[in-house]
Structure 1
Amino acid sequence: MFHYVYLLESIKHDNLYIGYTSDLKRRLVEYNRGLNFSTKSYKPWRLIHYEAYRNEDDAKRREGYLKTSQGSRLLKRMLKSSFHCLERSSYLK
């Protein structure tokens, strides 16, 4: 079983969201159905990046790191050339 750290982009807003799950497809469906209170006003969402881990603790650690200022800078550098939304998003500044 894999555990995933993912980055979602709101299609209608300049918002990004970093999360962790063991079922990536199910989680994306939940976001787009508005089942997550904190993100439902920003739907629809699309998946723009994910990382797979065999160990759940490793995935949780990575999610926590990517949510720090140092981790968000790393993620921004990794994906900057692919996604112009990273330039506008306050989440990764």
Structure 2
Amino acid sequence: MIFFVYILQSMKDKRYYIGYTSNLEQRLIFHNNGLNTSTKNRRPLKLVYFEEVLSKSEAIKRERKIKSYKGGNEFKKLINNGGVA
């Protein structure tokens, strides 16, 4: 099963949210409808990056890796060079 690791940016405070899902379109709607506690007060959110991985375990590992960047150069490279395909 394909999973997506994604980065959302709050249009309200410009902060980022990193997550993973098997249905990217549905997950974005979920976030923007205020159904996620971490992002409900930071709406609207826009998708600024995503990548596909082949399993849930790979998605979890990749999500953790991206979170470990803590907004540094590697994170900025993803946002600036990767973008949304």
Q: Name the TM-score class by shorter chain.
A: 0.7 to 0.9
Three-state SS of the structure 2 residue aligned to 1:67 is helix
- What is the deviation of 1:69? 3.2
Equivalents in 2 of 1:12, 1:34: separation in Å? 13
1:42 aligns with 2:42: yes
Q: Which protein has the larger Cα radius of gyration, Structure 1 or Structure 2?
A: 1
Q: Which residue matches 2:19?
A: 19
TM norm structure 1: 0.77
User: After TM superposition, where is structure 1 displaced by more than 3 Å over at least 4 residues in a row?
Assistant: 69-73, 80-83
> Aligned runs of 1:3-82 on 2, under 5 Å?
3-69=3-69, 72-80=72-80
Percent identity of paired positions between Structure 1 and Structure 2:
37
TM-score, with length taken from structure 2 = 0.84
Q: Which runs of 5+ in 1 are unaligned?
A: 84-93
Asked if the contact 2:69–2:75 (Cα under 8 Å) also holds between the matched residues in 1, the reply is no
Q: Give the AA of the match of 1:73.
A: N
The alignment covers a number of residue pairs equal to: 83
Segments of structure 2 that go 5 or more residues without pairing to the other structure are none
